[in-house]
């Protein structure tokens, strides 16, 4: 799922490129910048990617100029930049994050990206790397993916409701 969320980030970077040109810097953000816009589905996936070390926050210039570190800590930024390519992400060992609680966190996040019965992810890897391996999805003979909400509720939300701490973290 980390790869899928990072893939989504790279698509957002292409959309945001003209808008965020003020934050583009070949030295500090060579892979581009995206804005999660304080939108829930992208805030959640950003939290996963940040914890996994795939992205870092970008401080806008008007805040970066402020030398007061305490002020910068309380200001949340919606701007992030990848620190790894998709190829590096694919090759990275994220097994430290392979816990059932992290799975539930990631699937809860993915659920926000589902439109009706169909996930909105566009990665060429999604079908084989995620959908075909998880019984929350059904893949038909034409490689169309359907999201099974009942199975999601049974498998993920049952645990989600029990979780004391809802955080994506190394296990």
Per the CB < 8 A criterion, the answer to whether 77 and 57 are in contact is yes
The confidence score (pLDDT) of residue 49 equals 98
Instruction: Give the whole-angstrom CA distance, residue 153 versus residue 131.
Output: 16
Q: Judging by beta carbons within 10 Å of its beta carbon (0-12, 13-18, 19+), is residue 135 exposed, middle or buried?
A: exposed
What is the predicted pLDDT for the residue at 90?
A: 96
Burial class (CB in 10 A: 0-12, 13-18, 19+), 82: buried
Q: How far is CA 147 from CA 2, 39, 141, in A?
A: 19, 22, 15
Contact 117, 140 (CB under 8 A): no
The per-residue pLDDT for 113 is: 85
Cα(6)–Cα(63) distance, integer angstroms? 26
Burial of 19 (0-12, 13-18, 19+ CB in 10 A): exposed
Q: What is the pLDDT of residue 26?
A: 82
Q: For every one of its 171 residues, what pLDDT tens digit does the chain have, with 9 covering 90 and above?
A: 999 999 999 999 999 888 888 787 888 888 999 999 999 999 999 999 999 999 999 987 655 555 566 655 556 789 999 999 999 999 999 999 999 999 999 999 999 988 777 777 779 999 999 999 999 999 999 988 999 999 999 999 999 999 999 999 998
Residue-level pLDDT at 74:
58
Question: Within a 13 Å sphere around the CA of 74, how many CA atoms are in the beta-carbon half?
Answer: 4
């Amino acid at each position: 799922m980390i790869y899928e969320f990072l893939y989504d980030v790279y698509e957002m970077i292409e959309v945001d490129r003209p808008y965020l040109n003020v934050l583009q810097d070949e030295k500090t953000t060579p892979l581009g910048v995206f804005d999660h816009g304080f939108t829930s589905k992208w805030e959640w996936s950003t939290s996963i990617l940040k914890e996994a070390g795939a992205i870092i926050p970008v401080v806008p210039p008007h805040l970066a100029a402020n030398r007061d570190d305490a002020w910068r800590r309380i200001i949340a930024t919606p701007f992030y930049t990848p620190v790894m390519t998709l190829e590096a992400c694919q090759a990275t060992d994220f097994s430290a994050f392979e816990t059932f609680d992290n799975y539930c966190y990631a699937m809860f996040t993915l659920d926000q990206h589902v439109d009706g019965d169909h996930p909105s992810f566009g990665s060429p890897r999604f079908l084989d790397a995620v959908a075909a391996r998880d019984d929350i999805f059904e893949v038909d003979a034409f490689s169309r993916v359907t999201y099974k909400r009942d199975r999601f509720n049974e498998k993920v939300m049952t645990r989600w409701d029990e979780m004391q701490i809802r955080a994506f973290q190394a296990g």
